[in-house]
Amino acid sequence: MKNKKISQSLAFEDHFQLSKDDLHKILNIALSKGGDFSEIFLDYKIYNAINMEEDIIKETAESISLGLGVRVLSGEKTGYGFTNDFSFENIKKAALTAASISSSNTLKNATKPSIARVEHNFYPVLEPANKEPQEKKIPLVKRVYTAAQKLDPKIKKVKVILQDQIQYITVVNSEGLMISDVRPMIKLLCLAISEKDNKRESGFSGGGGRVGLEYFTEELTPQEIGTDAAKEALNLLEAAEAPAGEIPVVLAPGHSGVLVHEAVGHLLEADFNRKKTSVFWDKMGKRVSNPQVNIYDDPTLLHFRGSYNIDDEGTIPQKTLLIKKGVVKGLLQDRLSAKLMNMPLTGHGRRHDYTCIPIPRMANTYIDKGEYDPEEIIKSVKKGFYAEKYRGGQVEDSGKFTFSVSSGFLIEDGRLTAPVKQATLIGSNIDILKKIEMVGSDLKFGMQTGTCGKEGQEVPVTDGCPSLKIAKMTVGGQK
Amino acid sequence: MKKKEKSHMLRELAEYLVTFGKINGADEVEMIIVDGHEFGVDVRFGEIENLLEAGSRYLSLRVIKDKKTAFATSSDLSKETLQYLLKNAIKRAALANPDEFSGLPPLSLKKINISSLRLYDPEIPELSSEKKTALALETEKIALDDRRITNSHGASFETNETKFILANSNGFLQEYDLTLCSLSLGLQAGETDNRVEDSWFSSKRYFKELESTEEIAKKAVERTVRLLRPKKTKTQKVPVIFEPMMTSWLLGFLFVCVSGVSIYQKASFLADKLGQRIGNEKVTIFDDGLIPGKLGTRPFDSEGVSCQKTPVVEKGILKNYLCNTYAARKLKIKSTGNAVGTGVGPNNFYLKPGNRRPKEIISSMDKGLILIRTIGHGLNPVTGDLSRGAFGLWVEKGEIAYPVSEITISGNLGEILNQIEMVGNDLDFHTPLAGPTIKIQELTVAGQ
């Protein structure tokens, strides 16, 4: 191995100083105990952040993450080692750690890697944000801040964070694949706190995705982000306690995508079905929902936060149909589960970074649009709850899920009336899917700021849905 | 490289970079190097599923110039990269606004005997991977022998060894070593469409203190099967008992609300409440970084401020906010040694136990809920409002009657602190946020 020389201007591979021969050698070391498959994941990330609060640019941060992981598959078993010290000794040690998962006498040889070109780019940008000078980003932050602060004197506190990131990955495996991706990302967030009569509330908004800074002039302006967060904080000051009990619920388009993510998406990740821990494991081809319901996960949506040109195993991703007309049709697959279940790859093997084993994950998950006019959906409810904005959700394999509504409205006689705050919606997925009564024609996506956690690994995701009517759902408010 | 040599090399690197930063124009420089080794094995149905072992390290730095701050981190510890990052941070600091509250803490003169804190168990690096795998296998097997268990999420054994080195331009240069071992198990019971699940784990600095495979397996089984055949319940206000893990969860929420950062940001309902009554007489809460061998124990925080025992609430009166140096300066108080990364975090943050046995607390309840798990988000520190999906056990006439699911609990932390009726004697520091069983007078439980 050559002496390592670092310069920020050098290309990604130079950071590792590994030739194709070196990589081939490592893949073979990884197979030296008889594994079926070996793989090297090279990961280099540069991250920048700017924080503004209390009227000042408080601090900036820069972060470099550089490392590689070696994985070996042997039947259902996975061995993994990683390092961020690239002496050959250390990489060899990682490869041998991974190799030790197998103890077979039949040895396989790794095919010499050859570079595969990716023909598409789901995130063309003028210039990745990390290459743009900080001086160009700071005014964006200030504009968000001012927009929120100036909206109303009741806004007492504003916090704005701009984060950008670029990730270079290369996947090399024993089947001869060598493939790379360069993934830009921006997230601009605003938190606003309002105060009135000793009562405080908070509002939150943001945007971004795999975009360049031009996004904030063309798609979503800093003013909109700031105003949105401040408006939510102000509205909540006037909001009543949410109702409690089992009532009809209408889910607003866009942000309510967290429902499809929690109640459906996770449980159609292949690993949970292979292990039969998901309630869906025996439901393939079976009806679980209203025929109006079609659900997809599509990692190829242009500029979306959850999109990627290749997944973290080097697979070209595909728009994947999960539920068609209410019937379970597909799973989100990674290499290991696809092989063990004898099903095709979908390109959903993702990882947090080089320290993690890839697992099946969602990308951009959504319920497709239906036929009902959103007005008509609200009109159909005599007394119910309209859930508009969320703080997140969670599900367990048994299908029990919750999601946290930060703001919504009461529905009375087919109209949205009093604004209400903080409530939790709870249900079990099989039950809730059956209770979807109407699917709106107004498909929207939630904020391009979401992150999904599974087994300690965080990956960027987006979700979406049209207006949805749920016949009955348990709403946990205080009244 | 030998351990001692490596430690020496990393220490020298940290010192070198502090000097390099000063030479290149920074007023103040802080370097943290974390060097870790981790091992993890996941087993499921008697077979190894994943085996992971790796060493990794990272450096994080802070520079202050003209009262302007910049941060950087890197997992690439080559001198060239670090010099570049450091110079760039000094350049970048100019883009921030001056902040009179910024800056490193003064050099602490307090000496804490690190070895008396019992943070490092020499037995842990010596454990063979066969032994660790065998413990995970044994734990799962004991559970699977119980016929009520229908599926397994598997058992895992993990160990970590971590070295933490901190150097700054005020002359601080110290390090400490931590070990950690954890054994966990997740289970399911019941048939596919009526399945329930739960888990148990034990996590300790010393291998000898880890709960036995038998204890972990039995608890995981017990916790899982007690959820079988749940009923729904009507929406009502009832007394609620929090199991210790739930008290911990509540304390996690309270911690955010007493963190100096939330206070100066006015993002907490407890802002401006110092010295005031925020709970009843039964509420006494400490943050203590110096209890030997506990998970939240450390000699000094991430800025080099010595850890201490800080009374947070005493008999219901709010005594202290928990701060890093920055938040403390904003609030014109002293740092409590709670710096974690660039923010504020708990050391051992616990509710002082009372003298009631958990059984006694349950038998005192005529009708109500034992809260055993919550899922979801739904905590709002700005208001203290909480609302969560919940699993529980319904109690009638002092006896557990049946499990309930698909309920939510909601209330307000401020009100809960005033409604703690009984405090149990079962504090065990299972996690750094720790509390015993408690009974709350009344919460809204929403169901049908």
How far is residue A185's CA from residue B134's CA, in Å, rounded to a whole number? 43
Please tell me whether residues A217 and A272 are part of one structural domain.
no
C-beta neighbour count of A426 within 10 angstroms:
26
A137, closest residue in chain B (CA to CA): B95
Adjacency order of strands within the sheet including B317-318: B317-318, B309-314, B285-288, B348-351, B433-434
Same domain flag for A229 and A338: no
Q: Is residue A225 part of a domain?
A: yes
A229 and A292 belong to one structural domain: no
Q: Which residues of B touch A201 (CB under 8 A)?
A: 382-383
Report the run of H or E that residue B47 belongs to, with start and end: strand B47-65
pLDDT tier at A17 (50, 70, 90 boundaries)? confident
DSSP B305: P
* A204 and A258 within one domain: no
pLDDT in tens, B402-437: 999 888 898 999 999 999 999 999 999 999 999 999
In a domain, A472, yes or no: yes
Beta bridge mates, B38: B54, B160
Tokens standing for residue B311: 């009374």
Q: Does B63 touch chain A (CB under 8 A)?
A: no
Task: Tell me how close the Cα of A356 comes to any Cα of chain B, in angstroms.
Answer: 9
A69 domain residue, yes or no: yes
Integer-rounded Cα Rg, in Å, for chain B is 24
Q: Report if residue A152 sits inside a domain.
A: yes
**Residue A5 placed within a domain:** no
CB contact under 8 A, A201 and B382: yes
Give CA separation, B279 vs A441, A445, B274, B415, B419, in Å.
Answer: 50, 43, 12, 8, 8
Q: Which residues contact A39 (CB under 8 A, 6 or more apart)?
A: A27, A30, A70, A71, A72, A171, A172, A173, A174, A313
Query: Final residue of a domain: which of A201, A216, A237?
Result: A237
* Residue pLDDT, tens place only, A214-244: 999 999 999 999 999 999 999 999 999 888 8
Chain A, window 68-127: residues with a beta carbon less than 8 angstroms from a chain B beta carbon: 76-85, 90, 94, 97, 100-101
Answer yes or no: do A83 and A218 share one domain: yes
Distance from CA of A445 to the nearest CA of B (A): 21
Domain boundary among A206, A237, A268: A237
Can you tell me the distance from the alpha carbon of B423 to that of A309, in angstroms, rounded to the nearest whole number? Answer: 55
CATH of the domain at A26: 3.30.2290.10
Residues A206 and A273 in one domain: no
Say if the Cβ atoms of B77 and A84 lie within 8 Å. yes
pLDDT at B266: 86
**Residue B205's CB: how many other CB atoms inside 10 A?**
21
Count of A-B CB contacts under 8 Å: 262
Report yes or no for ipTM above 0.95: no
Reported confidence tier of residue A259, pLDDT bands at 50, 70, 90? confident
What is the structure's pLDDT at B232? 87
List of chain B residues with pLDDT < 70: 1-2
pLDDT tens per residue, range B70-99: 999 999 999 999 999 999 999 999 999 999
Phi, psi (rounded to 5 degrees) for A236: -65, -25
Residues 236-265 of A with CB under 8 A from B: 242, 244-246
CA neighbor of B383 nearest in space, from B273, B269, B276, B278: B269
Q: Can you read off the two tokens belonging to residue B439?
A: 């009974």
**Distance in angstroms (rounded) separating the CA atoms of residues B203 and B182:** 4
Range of the domain at A398: 241-476
- Clarify whether residues A285 and A304 are in a common domain: yes
| Whole-number Å distance between alpha carbons of A393 and A402 | 6
- Any domain includes A420: yes
State how far the Cα of A197 lies from the Cα of A255, in Å rounded to an integer: 30
Q: What is the pLDDT of residue A479?
A: 64
Identify the band that residue A5 occupies on the pLDDT scale cut at 50, 70 and 90. Answer: very low
- Are A35 and A18 found together in one domain? yes
Whether A361 and A269 map to the same domain: the answer is yes
- Residue A82 in domain: yes
Residue B7 in tokens: 């430690």
Domains of chain B are: 3-224 (3.30.2290.10), 230-448 (no CATH)
Locate tokens 């904030």: which residue? A216
Triad B442, B254, A59: Cα angle to 5°: 150
Question: Under 8 Å CB-to-CB from B79, ≥6 apart: which residues?
Answer: B13
The answer, as to whether pTM is greater than 0.90, is: yes
Would you call B341 an interface residue with chain A, using a CB distance cutoff of 8 Å? no
Q: Which of A334, A339, A341 is nearest to A362 (CA)?
A: A334
pLDDT of residue A14: 66
Q: How far apart are CA B269 and CA B391, in angstroms?
A: 27
**Residues A288 and A169 both lie in one domain:** no
- d(C-alpha B72, C-alpha B78), whole Å: 14
Beta-sheet strands, E only, within B243-351: 285-288, 309-314, 317-318, 339-340, 343-344, 348-351
Q: Cβ–Cβ of B406/A400 closer than 8 Å?
A: yes
Quote the number of domains for chain A.
Answer: 2
The CA distance from A398 to A208, in Å, is: 33
Q: Are residues A291 and A316 in the same domain?
A: yes
Q: Is residue A6 included in any domain, yes or no?
A: no
Same domain, A380 and A400: yes
Short-list B206, B213, B348, CA closest to B288: B348
Tell me the residues of chain A between 295 and 354 that have a Cβ less than 8 Å away from chain B.
none
A203, A237, A271 — which closes off a domain? A237
Helices (H), B226-318: 244-258, 260-264
